[in-house]
Amino acid sequence: MSDQVMNGRVQTVEQVTKVVTSGPDPWIVVRNARKVDARGIEQDFWVIAHDGVIAATGCGDEALASVYCVFGIEDGAAGMPSGRKGLAEGEGHDKGDERAGIAMSTLRASDGAPVEVVDAAGRNLTPGYVDIHAHGAWGMSFDDGVEGIGTARAGHMMHGTTRQVLSLITNPMDVICDNLKTVRSQMDRRPDVLGAHLEGPFLALSRKGAHDPNCLKDPTDDSVDQLLEAGDGSIRQITIAPELPHGVSAIRRFAAAGVVPAVGHCDADYETARRGFESGAGIMTHMFNAMNGLHHREPGPIPAAVEDPRVTIELINDGFHVQNPVLKMALNFAPHRIAFVTDAMSATDCPDGPYKLGALDVTVKDGHARLVSNGAIAGSTLLLEKAVQRAITVLGISPADAVEAATLTPAHAFGFDRSNPVTGAPIGLLSPGYAADLLLSDPETWRVERVWCAGRIVR
Ligand SMILES: CC(=O)N[C@@H]1[C@@H](O)[C@H](O)[C@@H](COP(=O)(O)O)O[C@@H]1O
């Protein structure tokens, strides 16, 4: 990577960190968009957000003008396209956004606060993407302290992942506890950090994948308590192999503490996996990867997840972890319950080369990460931007379903699609009352061009 790109990234990390740790813009208006969310598609769509929350949505500029009046926004017609009363693009106080070629104009709220009106010019407007399973990006991991979190979050944020549950890799218990404390401190500072996902240490040795076998253990009551105490409310999800001696009881204990346990990295038979879900596991960790697969006489954990309507199923839609025919089948057998996850590691959005996953050495070649020691696949270099794009253009999934898998479904896994203590306003839809997590993307390529997280403009 050139020095210029590296320097640019350092500045972007600083900028993203600054923006997310300050307050929301008082007003955001986006108009003339093609809305795509889990509820469907609407043309000529607009959204008004106030103090980080969507205040109103609708279609057509006449309706928008009447809502301007309701909110006391002055010079309502100025945000209209040319030909209507008010300013046309490029006139008066309009300012073009040269970077993304997106036209903007500025109106005033009755208290004098600026109201930026963004003309989406038919671009896709979607909710921000929510990644509930990723380890890093831009050369760093979420296990690498505050700097690692800031850097990797900026990498994902610039590609539309407005909120993220930070996955922590298997490590010695004291290291995991320290990493949890760092996540806790960042969660308190920045709305884009939703908490931690502990991927390990309670994984099956036979399905360890890219995790350090020396650190794997049985989830005894003591170890569960140790993690819950260190996490101090920051553990959102924990992957557990239910067949471990204390697997099911740990699932029960974590669920009782408000954590969502996930069945994964396991060699569980169908009955044991079912018991895991019955005991409170609400997620299946990257279905197909690092688990015993489907067999017609040994059903294993996959049918147990599929048949339980309460379970959200993670899927790494990169065409490599899971190939396209199986991805399509999976999307059909659990509609509205598949959450796209990236499992992205530090090499995400970076060149091929040597990297680390926890303490283990990884080589990335052609964008595929593998352990140096034994060639095991070691996470992905996927972004949710790419997962949505390939779902639509490669797998032929409807845009609404593809966006749902990257927004509402992962949010629902933690109850974030309703008001909650972590995000406050719900996330995952473009509806009044939901957080102002907004993306503008190219209508053909789905490349993300503009990003707002909790009402803060980050790109
Ligand atoms: C961070 C992490 O754990 N990632 C897992 C990895 O451990 C596993 O090796 C791989 C393939 O699993 P598979 O060979 O069973 O499909 O999937 C994911 O990349």
293 CA distance to ligand 1 centroid (A)? 13
**Between residues 105 and 454, which one has the greater pLDDT?**
454
Q: 300 in ligand 1 pocket by Cβ < 6 Å?
A: no
Residue 269 included in any domain: yes
Domain match, 68 and 149 both: no
Residue 427 included in any domain: no
Q: 341 in ligand 1 pocket by Cβ < 6 Å?
A: no
Domain match, 11 and 147 both: no
pLDDT at 75: 63
Domain match, 384 and 452 both: no
Q: Is residue 85 predicted with pLDDT exceeding 50?
A: no
Residue 360 included in any domain: yes
Q: DSSP letter string over 23-86?
A: PPPSEEEEEEEEEEETTEEEEEEEEEEETTEEEEEEESHHHHHHHHHHTTEESGGGGSPBTBSS
Residue 250 included in any domain: yes
Q: 379 in ligand 1 pocket by Cβ < 6 Å?
A: yes
Atom of ligand 1 nearest to the CA of 369: 19
Domain match, 245 and 352 both: yes
User: What CATH number does residue 40 fall under?
Assistant: 2.30.40
Domain match, 25 and 155 both: no
Q: 289 in ligand 1 pocket by Cβ < 6 Å?
A: yes
User: What CATH number does residue 312 fall under?
Assistant: 3.20.20.140
Q: What is the pTM of this model?
A: 0.94
Separation in Å, CA 281 to CA 185, 237, 334, 418? 26, 9, 17, 20
Number of domains in the chain: 2
Domain match, 111 and 167 both: no
Atom of ligand 1 nearest to the CA of 207: 15
Q: 301 in ligand 1 pocket by Cβ < 6 Å?
A: no
Domain match, 163 and 111 both: no
Atom of ligand 1 nearest to the CA of 377: 9
Atom of ligand 1 nearest to the CA of 169: 1
Domain match, 219 and 105 both: no
Domain match, 299 and 320 both: yes
Per-residue pLDDT, averaged over 106-110, amounts to 89
Q: 25 in ligand 1 pocket by Cβ < 6 Å?
A: no
CA distance 456 to 459: 9
Q: How confident is the model at residue 83 (pLDDT cuts 50, 70, 90)?
A: very low
Domain match, 44 and 161 both: no
Question: Quick check: 159 and 130 in contact, CB under 8 A?
Answer: no
Atom of ligand 1 nearest to the CA of 200: 3
Q: Which domain holds residue 44?
A: 3-77+99-125+445-457
Q: Is residue 100 predicted with pLDDT exceeding 60?
A: no
Per-residue pLDDT, averaged over 256-283, amounts to 98
Q: 52 in ligand 1 pocket by Cβ < 6 Å?
A: no
Mind listing the pLDDT tens digit for each residue in 41-68?
999 999 999 999 999 999 999 999 999 9
Residue 434 included in any domain: no
Residue 156 included in any domain: yes
pLDDT at 191: 98
379 CA distance to ligand 1 centroid (A)? 6
Domain match, 263 and 339 both: yes
Domain match, 171 and 62 both: no
CA distance 349 to 366: 12
Atom of ligand 1 nearest to the CA of 376: 9
Residue 436 included in any domain: no
421 CA distance to ligand 1 centroid (A)? 32
Residue 271: Cβ within 10 Å count: 11
